[in-house]
Amino acid sequence: MSEKACPTCHIVTTGNVCPKCKSTSLSSDFSGLVIIFDPENSEIAKAMKVKEKGRYALRVR
């Protein structure tokens, strides 16, 4: 299965529906991958406005 990213919340998934925001308009055209383990103490998570741990794309087209 290929990975896709949600253009709304940037989460990366292998499914056809975003597990976070339930969007169905996922894109396979994304770049950069960030894995957030501790969103409360992560400066990257704060900059991306991420509040849950998971795998996120930096840019989704």
Sequence ranges of the domains in the chain: 4-60
Confidence of residue 24 (pLDDT cuts 50, 70, 90): very high
Instruction: Round the average pLDDT of the chain to a whole number and report it.
Output: 96
Q: Which fold has domain 4-60?
A: Rubrerythrin, domain 2 (2.20.28)
Residues 14, 2 contacting (CB under 8 angstroms): yes
Beta-sheet pairing, 30-36 with 12-13:
unpaired
Predicted model pTM: 0.90
Beta bridge pairs of residue 27: 5
Nearest to 57 by CA among 2, 22, 7: 7
Q: Is pLDDT at 1 greater than 80 in this prediction?
A: no
pLDDT in tens, 6-18: 999 999 999 999 9
